[in-house]
Amino acid sequence: MGNITSRFPNLITIPKLLWLLAGIVILIIPPISTTATITMVSRIMIFAVYAMAYDILRGYIGIIHLGFALFIGGGTYFVAILFANVGISIPILLLAIVGTTIYSIIWALIVGKIAAKSGLLATAMITMAFAEIMRNMMERWRTVTNGLDGLTFRVPAPFDNRTFMYYACFVFLLLMAFALYKFTTSPTGRVWQAVRENEQRAVFLGYDTNRARTIALLVSGVVAGLAGVMFALLNRFANTDVLAMQMTYNAMLYSLVGGSGSLFGSIIGSAVVVLFQNFLLDLRGVHFIFERWLIFFGSLYILVVIFMPKGIMGFVETIRERWKHKKGGKIYES
């Protein structure tokens, strides 16, 4: 009774304090950390955007896109090919952004057409084939892409500065999270959920579900493409790994661990997975068994799926529900 949180319920709450804390931590990382840490957190922020874009499809409208690497890979290669073969400047970067956007729109429209004609599974398989075709093309087009060995390139100032890049990634994450949040709470975003839940009913409410799907594919494709541009700027390197199946699995992993159908979950998921990967990699120095770190990583993934089927966000939600009930029970007793 009479504590601060109950007297000013809307001024200071635990979530707000956590947000504030997270904001402060993110802002003070660059001055106090090593370059490796700065780069790693930057990568987490880019992957978070990539995972959120994936979750629009998987968690909101219910499309399984097994070729999602098409988008992040496309963005990365646009930057890489232009920087390595044409020139290094901000206008070229803008050109890469425009190119990535157009490229993502074209892929989104193609996949939209396919999803409208065939079912969920066929779409999943066909999209996987698309990504493999693109990966193969980039591998064979050696004169421009240098194949599997990849392209190394320099980036224009100020993006060559790690600290600047870090804040750029942070702003990028904030902008994309805000935009996607806006979209998911718009009338269209609600139709996405209706399509995921029961497409036939959505049709008989009068919704053009194919159109809803195409809009989702466009939004998610363009956002993931832009994440690819940032990824290239951060890594200054591109090879066919960005177009490989593993890249699509990453998006699935991040959004599933964080909690499907929750944008914030995708951010948390990316952070947890990347941090844990790094942690396991560091353990290699402790004992040679950690050379096989993927075993531990896979085991953890299985545990998450078994014990937190709805991901971290789902788990937090369950705990909060339980806590609420407990609190309610106490009031009842007294």
Partner 1 sequence: MLGDVILRTENLSIQFGALKAVNDISISIEKKKFTTVLGPNGAGKTTFFNLISGLYKPTSGKVYFKDQDITAYSPQKRIHAGMGRSFQLTNVFPDLLARENVRLAVQSAARIGFKLFKSYKGYNRINEETDRLLKDMLLEDKADVKAGDLTHGEQRKLEMAMVLAQNPEILLLDEPTAGMSVEEVPVMIELLQRIKDKGDTTIVLIEHKMNMVKALSDTLIIMVHGEFLCEGDPESVSQNPEVMAAYLGGGAINVSA
Shortest distance (Å) from residue 50 CB to partner 1: 20
Shortest distance (Å) from residue 100 CB to partner 1: 20
Shortest distance (Å) from residue 130 CB to partner 1: 25
Beta carbon nearer to partner 1, 154 or 211: 211
Shortest distance (Å) from residue 48 CB to partner 1: 21
Shortest distance (Å) from residue 300 CB to partner 1: 27
Beta carbon nearer to partner 1, 145 or 209: 209
Query: Distance (Å, rounded) from C-alpha 217 to C-alpha 61?
Result: 9
Beta carbon nearer to partner 1, 74 or 189: 189
Shortest distance (Å) from residue 198 CB to partner 1: 5
Beta carbon nearer to partner 1, 45 or 199: 199
Shortest distance (Å) from residue 133 CB to partner 1: 31
Shortest distance (Å) from residue 65 CB to partner 1: 20
Shortest distance (Å) from residue 212 CB to partner 1: 7
Beta carbon nearer to partner 1, 200 or 334: 200
Rg of the chain over Cα atoms, rounded to whole angstroms, equals 21
265 in Cβ contact with 313 (< 8 Å): yes
Beta carbon nearer to partner 1, 138 or 217: 217
Contacts of 173 (CB under 8 A, 6+ apart): 45, 46, 48, 49, 267
Beta carbon nearer to partner 1, 62 or 150: 62
Instruction: Work out whether the CA dihedral 322, 323, 325, 330 comes out positive or negative.
Output: positive
Beta carbon nearer to partner 1, 117 or 211: 211
* Positions in the binding site for partner 1 (CB under 8 A): 182-183, 185-191, 193-194, 197-198, 200-208, 211-212, 215, 219
CA angle 126, 129, 134 (to 5 degrees): 130
Beta carbon nearer to partner 1, 207 or 296: 207
Query: Distance (Å, rounded) from C-alpha 83 to C-alpha 227?
Result: 17
Question: φ, ψ for residue 10 (rounded to 5)?
Answer: -100, -10
Q: Which residue is listed with tokens 């920087």?
A: 83
Structure-block tokens of residue 295: 């075993």
